[in-house]
Structure 1
Amino acid sequence: MPMIGQPAPQFSTQAVFDGGEIKNISLSDYKGKWTVLFFYPLDFTFVCPTELTQFREFLPDFAKANAVIVGASVDSVHSHKRWLRDDLGNLGYPLIADLTKRISKDFGVLLEDRGIATRGTFIIDPDQNIQYMGIHNTAVGRDAKEVLRVLQGLQSGELCGAGWKKGDQHVVTLK
């Protein structure tokens, strides 16, 4: 399982991009940028579209922070393509197909008994080291605003207390 500060597991697979274009994708394609890689259980489910569309909503904010978003599940590129076409529309970021489940396993998010990934979020720095990871139950969606807040905190290079937001003082005081 990867750890904070260690190199992110490298991968190369197919992904669906806007317009339904299927292309090969590797983590190394994003070297030099902050990368938010998030795993979700399956296409055509109930909680997952709320996350994917919220990341789309905040995409301009991630772009301002020199960060790219990449989604991943164990579905095929054909499933992704249909889900985007029929339900979600263009997201502005790629969806990785992890049919072999190798990427999910390498990142430590594979629920082997169910054959799906749990909700895992990884913030990878421009040198491709993991700087944040959050893994939680499939029943509860993550909040893109919180992921953005953590990214901005990491980029500040300062100590950022709970609830810190970009523009706040970086002063942590204890009584």
Structure 2
Amino acid sequence: MDTKAFNLNIFSHKDSLFSFAFSFTKDTDDANDLFQETMLKAINYSSQFKEGTNLKAWLYTIMRNTFINNYRKSSKTDRIMTVTDDLTSDKLFLSASMNGSEGKFVMDDIYKALSKLQPEYYTPFIKYFEGYKYHEIADELKIPIGTVKTRIHVARQILKKQLRIYSKMAEDQEQVA
């Protein structure tokens, strides 16, 4: 199956995939993100799909596994952010030191990462970050809503890669604490 036929074939399952995503997340925006991530993975790994097998089941499996992996990542993050009553001076020191000049460097790195985004990703991402809804961005930029969602998702992935050092620093600080 050629790429165009494959893409049209997976797109034909759009409605049922979105419903499946919503059944996991119970939130429209999170369901949109899960749907977009599933579609990107399906396109990226289209060579692994075996013709003659159930495409819908394959897509559902990708979505289910993506949701589970994201849930595991977020539950690890949630465990890190626990509230305790014993605030010792060393924990207060670490907290206070992170609120110092490091914040300026972090913001500089965020701005640099944003400036490296191509305009077709930067504009929808910034609009979404400013609080615009997907359909509002699509109307303003005169592009399909699916394109808006994909570009925002891709921008997030690019920024995650470029700012990955900060997640490692957070893990290192947790180990120190």
Q: Give the TM interval when normalised to the shorter protein.
A: under 0.3
Whichever structure has more strand as a proportion of its residues is 1
TM-score, normalization by structure 1: 0.25
Higher RCO structure, 1 or 2 (CA under 8 Å, sep 6+): 1
